[in-house]
Amino acid sequence: MRRHLALPFLFAPAAGALVFTACAGTGDPVGPAAEPPEAREPLPVGAARAEPPAAPPAAAPSPPPVPPEARDLIRRLGGDDYRDREAAQAALARMGRAVKPAVLAAAAHDPSDEVRARCAAVLRGRYLDYDYTRPGAELFRRCAGAAPGGPQLHAEVTRSADNRDLLSAVEAGKAEGGKALAARRLRVYHTMFRPSPGGGSLQAVPDPADVAAVLVAEVAISSADIPVPREYGWVTGCHLVDGTSYQDVFTSGPHPAAHKAIFGRWLDTRSTPAELDPLPLAFGHLRLEGFEERLPALRRVVATPGVNGRAKGDAMWQLTGFPNNAGTPAVEAALTDATAVHAVRLPGPDGTVGARQTQVRDLALAFLLYAAGQDIASYGFETDSKEPRFKDPDWVSWGYYAFASDEKRAAAMARYAAWKGRQGGR
């Protein structure tokens, strides 16, 4: 026999009892105890129950008072002394969001052209959008510039106590900042790897906000002021970028324009061999073909003495792929660079097989020939590969070929120079 469940809330309640709605959790009583009896009397047909008068709207919060010193700074923007105007503008920019209403008003209504122009410049630079009570506000503003999302990214970054500590140390000076940066980027690097159930480790993507904090710190602190740890001393911000899929950060997720601006500013400051060595490999992984800041960075990789030969080779290969031959001059300048890349076993003039050095200038010549559609093998390059593939771009980019003698190299260079001359220097 089918049993029927008793539903108590369907039956009339006892007088004065509370009845709760069937949707548990509201806790709002309805029924006799919820409203006076007269409220339950039936209304005449067509009549509407009178609604209680609406509460008056809450008054809008008044804007915070403008600090008196801000008004004085705005006044000084129109003074006669150029240096004082510059100092006043810089001081006003550092006051942050509290003075933005006053600066907006002055930019629109001040009778002085100079005051209006300087206030507009402060607003364009997004100086007043940053929270200067949090560490690193000015560092982020300088790196992100006027990119949308810069203040929001700074707020996201400084929600982390570790990032706040890092940025505070950087602001304290290069000695304290260098120590904090070395420790912080190593901790972020270790978050990229977690133990695998089957042994070994699995790679994970670090938080882009943590990476942004490290990049901003590396812009402010020279690599010469960053101590090198005994373990993983080779880790830099570039290795964090390489593990972050930064091409996705630039196109999706929160604050892509600010991330891109910070990355571009960081690239502009890479200048030492240790900073430049890992860049070409990271660029290859990140697929940053449309990132225009990549071109000058790759040029510096090729031109800087002390950079690893393999890194120079990777940079040159990428430079030959830029449209309108924009990277070609940097590759041609490397035709005199004798930095060793690796060794290839080839027979020498006497028939003895030995290791022959592939040099940066050899790769520069091969890449230029490939880009021009010429026959690389006809220039005297040799390889220990059983199946040379001088028309395969991947194989050519690896560079496992060399000249068996200096004489063959010199002849190849002379032949290329003659061909280049016939092209009218194009």
The two three-digit tokens of residue 97, written as one number: 């969001």
Rounded to whole angstroms, how far apart are CA atoms 78 and 390?
A: 67
Instruction: Say if 329 falls within a structural domain.
Output: yes
Rounded to whole angstroms, how far apart are CA atoms 132 and 134?
A: 5
Which of 107, 129, 151 is at the close of a domain? Answer: 129
Q: Which residues contact 309 (CB under 8 A, 6 or more apart)?
A: 339, 340, 341, 342, 359, 360
| Residue at token pair 């592939």 | 358
Instruction: Say if 52 falls within a structural domain.
Output: no
* Claim to verify: residue 158 and residue 96 sit in the same structural domain: no
Rounded to whole angstroms, how far apart are CA atoms 94 and 206?
A: 31
* Claim to verify: residue 386 and residue 304 sit in the same structural domain: yes
Q: What is the pLDDT along the chain (426 residues), one digit of tens a residue?
A: 444 434 333 333 444 443 333 334 444 444 444 445 444 555 555 555 555 666 666 555 555 567 788 889 999 999 999 999 999 998 888 777 778 889 999 999 999 999 999 999 888 877 788 888 899 998 998 899 878 899 999 999 999 999 999 999 999 999 999 999 999 999 999 888 776 677 666 677 888 999 999 999 999 999 999 999 988 888 999 988 886 666 778 877 789 999 999 999 999 999 999 999 999 988 888 777 667 788 999 999 999 999 999 999 999 999 998 988 899 999 999 999 999 999 988 876 677 777 889 999 999 999 999 999 999 999 999 988 777 788 899 899 998 899 988 999 999 999 999 999 888 755
pLDDT (0 to 100) of residue 169? 97
Tell me 24's DSSP state: T
* Claim to verify: residue 426 and residue 351 sit in the same structural domain: yes
Helix (H) or strand (E) segment spanning residue 344:
strand 340-347
Give the Å distances, CA to CA, from 82 to 73, 78, 115.
13, 9, 12
CA angle 339, 285, 234 (to 5 degrees): 60
Q: What are the strands, taking DSSP E only, across 136-269? A: 193-195, 201-203
Supply the range of the domain harboring residue 387: 291-426
Q: Please, are residues 281 and 314 in contact by the beta-carbon 8 Å criterion?
A: yes
* Claim to verify: residue 243 and residue 260 sit in the same structural domain: yes
pLDDT (0 to 100) of residue 34? 45
The number of folded domains in the chain is: 3
* Claim to verify: residue 119 and residue 165 sit in the same structural domain: no
Which of 129, 161, 182 is at the close of a domain? Answer: 129
pLDDT (0 to 100) of residue 51? 58
Q: Which residues contact 53 (CB under 8 A, 6 or more apart)?
A: none
Instruction: Say if 27 falls within a structural domain.
Output: no
Q: How long is the chain? A: 426
* Claim to verify: residue 363 and residue 382 sit in the same structural domain: yes
Q: Please, are residues 403 and 409 in contact by the beta-carbon 8 Å criterion?
A: yes
* Claim to verify: residue 240 and residue 213 sit in the same structural domain: yes
Instruction: Say if 161 falls within a structural domain.
Output: yes
Tell me 382's DSSP state: B
* Claim to verify: residue 254 and residue 182 sit in the same structural domain: yes
* Claim to verify: residue 178 and residue 243 sit in the same structural domain: yes
Which of 269, 303, 319 is at the close of a domain? Answer: 269
* Claim to verify: residue 112 and residue 146 sit in the same structural domain: no
The two three-digit tokens of residue 288, written as one number: 């940053």
* Claim to verify: residue 261 and residue 321 sit in the same structural domain: no
Count of CA atoms in the C-beta half-sphere (13 A) of 87:
8
Instruction: Say if 371 falls within a structural domain.
Output: yes
Helix (H) or strand (E) segment spanning residue 330:
helix 328-333
pLDDT (0 to 100) of residue 19? 35
* Claim to verify: residue 323 and residue 341 sit in the same structural domain: yes
Identity of residue 64: P
Instruction: Say if 411 falls within a structural domain.
Output: yes
Instruction: Say if 412 falls within a structural domain.
Output: yes
Instruction: Say if 279 falls within a structural domain.
Output: no
Q: Tell the burial category of 420 from Cβ atoms under 10 Å away from its Cβ (0-12, 13-18, 19+).
A: middle
